[in-house]
């Protein structure tokens, strides 16, 4: 059993319970973050903690204690985490009588747990994964990484039922916004493209690192959303997130797309360098390199 | 302390806890219902149970046990409920390892509790309440009464901060869809209007009863959404939900609108008759009649 931190104490995750009246349970009133450990060492943690504060601010939720205290709790959970794992942490507005408006006094509940990562097939990195397109039915504040995840669950369930690993959300105007748990990229007409943050998307940490790496490598980047039609012209398609880093897309709705190309591999090399520098351990996507 | 039913047993609500890994807590993966008791007797319960099954179906969630068993549990909680209260019940997909897609095997968790209703100022029914307009930022499956309620909480918090009792959600096309916890009606050009169910709204039980009552009374009804501009021409505006029945709207964004008019009062009379017939107790809105 793995150790977690919940509302002030450390305990095994399987024994952890929360009050029925916690607003996280009755309203999904909370936000969360996920960052990865490599060989037990955190990667890009500061960026995730920054985004956590931004998400809290997006729903008027005050983080109890100082940032230093939060990081101290993360440190302790990391010390007990499996080497290949990620840290999940969330803050809910805590228990209160069931009324929609924020309670005058609340007792927010911080939870932190380590989750072991299962093995990922090497072919996912070498040849790519299948994705399906799915109507972007989410709310209009996706920049907040909230616990209202039902549309993401519905999309991922449909993907799994159709033998796919992820989805490409398509909005009402026909643009690909992002994936259910990842950001979406494509190389179209020689340009690396992804929807801009002004679209209704999460500011992905891996998305940010990939864009930074692309610019450092002198790749031509356009933060400009693409349609499904444009995607048919794409020479490379990939998705990025914290657990998987960079995953090439090989199939969209049963239609094959060209496998991992030169830009995807260049960005994987950049990611591998960065993970190695920061943690001293190899990135997962390095199985597709060298 | 009031009694509740949770995952197979009866216990005081303040002592009730749920597993941290319950998908209701981590994803808001569940649906709920609320119906009212008058003098301890349920009103329109069948319609709420019908909608509960429809919501479950909308997220591929199978209700454990039979409908008769569910109603038996509701009966038992009603027997312990305060006379002026509502019954809240929800079903989550239960505890599972944290992965978005529905788990292959799941153990859904049913919860039922009675919540005492506080007193409501008579002036709310006699003169009406203030509401604010609020961007409809919710997801695209509002016909499902899900636990993803963060946008509703944000809207109600903003309303309270501005001294209002509710909101009118306005969608991207400028139409009023409904309220954060209620359906929205207006009398415009002599017609009673409300958004049709083809809009992204909850099929409100009170909305249904009000429309039925309006048709029985021969009032001219149009299930046709109205814009904020059209609302300026409204001779009556009201919102409907289970706890409050029918609440006239007197102020929208600090702009007074005409108070409760003849149609609102006619519909209140219809509601009062129906509640009296079904439960033998007076409706709340009857304070504004006679």
How do residues B71-121 score in pLDDT, each as one tens digit? 999 999 999 999 889 999 999 999 999 999 999 988 999 999 999 998 899
Among partner residues B13, B60, B150, which is closest to A20 by beta-carbon distance? B13
Burial (CB < 10 A; 0-12, 13-18, 19+), residue A3, is: middle
Residue B22: DSSP 8-state:
B
Any idea what the CATH number is for the domain that residue A200 is in?
3.20.10.10
CATH assignment at residue B56: 3.30.470.10
Identify the closest residue of chain B to A6 by CA–CA distance: B20
Are A50 and A157 within one domain? Answer: no
Neighboring chain A residues of B16 at a CB cutoff of 8 Å: 19-21
User: With an 8 Å Cβ cutoff, are A27 and B138 in contact?
Assistant: no
Query: Domain check: are A136 and A103 in the same one?
Result: no
pLDDT tens-place string over residues B272-284: 999 999 999 999 9
Give the end of a domain, one of B88, B116, B144: B116
pLDDT band at A7 (very low <50, low <70, confident <90, very high): confident
Residues A133 and A266 in one domain: yes
Number of domains in chain B: 2
Residues sharing a CB contact under 8 Å with residue B85, sequence separation 6 or more, in sequence order = B36, B37, B114, B115, B116, B117
Question: Are B86 and B133 contained in the same domain?
Answer: no
What is the domain range of residue B277?
122-289
Place of tokens 């010390």: A79
**pLDDT at site A213:** 98
A65 and A187 both lie in a single domain = no
Q: Which of these three, B116, B134, B168, is where a domain ends?
A: B116
pLDDT score of B11 more than 70: yes
Looking at the complex, does the CB of residue A79 fall below 8 Å from at least one CB of chain B? no
**pLDDT digit string, tens, across residues A248-287:** 999 999 999 987 899 999 999 999 999 999 999 999 999 9
Whether residue B137 sits in one domain with residue B89: no
ipTM of the complex: 0.96
Question: DSSP assignment of B223-264, as one string?
Answer: E---BHHHHTT-SEEEEEETTTEEEEEEEETTEE---S-HHH
Q: How many contacts, defined by CB atoms under 8 Å, are there between A and B?
A: 156
Q: Are residue A23 and residue A166 in the same domain, yes or no?
A: no
Report the alpha-carbon distance of residue A66 to residue A48 in Å, rounded.
Answer: 16
Query: Do A186 and A143 share a structural domain?
Result: yes
Judge if A92 and A153 occupy the same domain.
Answer: no
Which residues of B are catalytic, by number?
Answer: 145
Residue at a domain's end among B94, B116, B138: B116
* Catalytic residue, candidates A23, A90, A145, A269: A145
B81 shares its domain with B46: yes
Average pLDDT score over residue span A117-133? 95
Q: Helix B67-79 and helix B45-58: axis angle, to 10°?
A: 130
Mean pLDDT of chain A: 96
Judging contacts by C-beta atoms under 8 Å, the chain A residues touching residue B90 are: 26
**Do B100 and B131 share a domain, yes or no?**
no
pTM (2 d.p.): 0.97
Instruction: Judge if A98 and A159 occupy the same domain.
Output: no
The verdict on a CB contact (< 8 Å) between B27 and A160 is: no
A92 contact residues in B (CB cutoff 8 A): 25
Task: Reduce the DSSP state of residue B39 to 3 states and report it.
Answer: coil
> What percent of chain B shows pLDDT beyond 70?
100
- Is there a contact between B16 and A16 if contact means CB atoms under 8 Å apart? no
Tokens matching residue B165: 């009792």
B227-240: average pLDDT: 96
Predicted pLDDT of residue A22: 97
């Amino acid at each position: 059993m793995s150790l977690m931190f919940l509302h002030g104490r450390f305990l095994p995750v399987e024994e952890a319970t929360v009050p029925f009246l916690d607003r996280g349970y009755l309203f999904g009133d909370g936000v969360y973050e996920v960052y990865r450990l490599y060989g037990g060492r955190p990667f890009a943690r500061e960026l995730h903690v920054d985004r956590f504060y931004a998400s809290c601010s997006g729903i008027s939720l005050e983080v109890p204690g100082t940032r230093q205290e939060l990081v101290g709790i993360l440190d302790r959970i990391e010390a007990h985490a499996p080497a290949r794992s990620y840290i999940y942490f969330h803050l809910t507005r805590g228990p209160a009588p069931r009324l929609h408006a924020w309670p005058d006094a609340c007792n927010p509940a911080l939870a932190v747990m380590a989750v072991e990562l299962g093995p990922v097939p090497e072919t996912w990195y070498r040849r790519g994964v299948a994705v399906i397109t799915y109507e972007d039915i989410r709310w209009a504040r996706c920049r907040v990484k909230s616990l209202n995840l039902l549309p993401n669950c519905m999309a991922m369930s449909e993907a799994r039922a159709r033998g796919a690993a992820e989805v490409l959300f398509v909005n009402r105007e026909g643009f690909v916004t992002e994936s259910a748990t990842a950001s979406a990229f494509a190389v179209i007409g020689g340009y690396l493209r992804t929807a801009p943050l002004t679209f209704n998307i999460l500011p992905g940490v891996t998305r940010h690192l990939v864009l930074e790496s692309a610019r450092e490598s002198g790749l031509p980047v356009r933060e400009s959303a693409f349609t499904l039609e444009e995607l048919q012209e794409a020479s490379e398609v990939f998705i990025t997130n914290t657990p998987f880093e960079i995953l090439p897309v090989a199939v969209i709705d049963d239609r094959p797309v060209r496998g991992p190309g030169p830009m995807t591999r260049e960005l994987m090399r950049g990611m591998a360098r960065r993970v190695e520098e920061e943690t001293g351990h190899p990135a997962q996507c390095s199985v597709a390199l060298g």
